[in-house]
């Protein structure tokens, strides 16, 4: 009921501007989220993954064999998705 009272005091041009601003804000937030997702979906080489996680090669090999992390292979090279690596990390409980 309160919204209808507020909208009754708004002329059509103001209403159009209000809707446009809301849509622009929502679209900008969506773009930022999409850019963050695409930035996190890049493929990391085995060496980059080792550096990111600060682990040695045998640990990564064990995690891959235990299916803790997913490995993608192309031309005998191993790659890992950054988003999947970050998703497997779990915060410590305090």
pLDDT for position 76: 92
pLDDT for position 1: 45
Q: Are 58 and 12 in contact (CB under 8 A)?
A: no
Q: How far apart are CA 17 and CA 23, in angstroms?
A: 10
Q: How far apart are CA 56 and CA 80, in angstroms?
A: 15
pLDDT for position 69: 92
- Per-residue pLDDT of the chain in tens (94 residues, 90 and over written 9): 445 446 677 788 888 898 899 989 998 888 888 777 666 578 999 999 999 999 999 999 999 999 999 999 999 999 999 888 988 887 777 6
Q: Are 11 and 17 in contact (CB under 8 A)?
A: no
């Amino acid at each position: 009921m309160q919204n209808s009272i507020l909208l009754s005091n708004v002329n059509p041009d103001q209403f159009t501007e209000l809707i446009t601003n809301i849509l622009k804000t929502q679209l900008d937030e969506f773009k930022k989220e999409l850019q963050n997702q695409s930035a996190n979906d890049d493929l990391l080489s085995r060496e980059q993954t080792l550096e990111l996680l600060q682990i040695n090669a045998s640990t990564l090999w064990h995690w891959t064999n235990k299916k803790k992390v997913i490995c993608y292979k192309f031309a005998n090279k191993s790659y890992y998705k950054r988003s999947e690596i970050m998703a497997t990390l779990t915060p410590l409980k305090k």
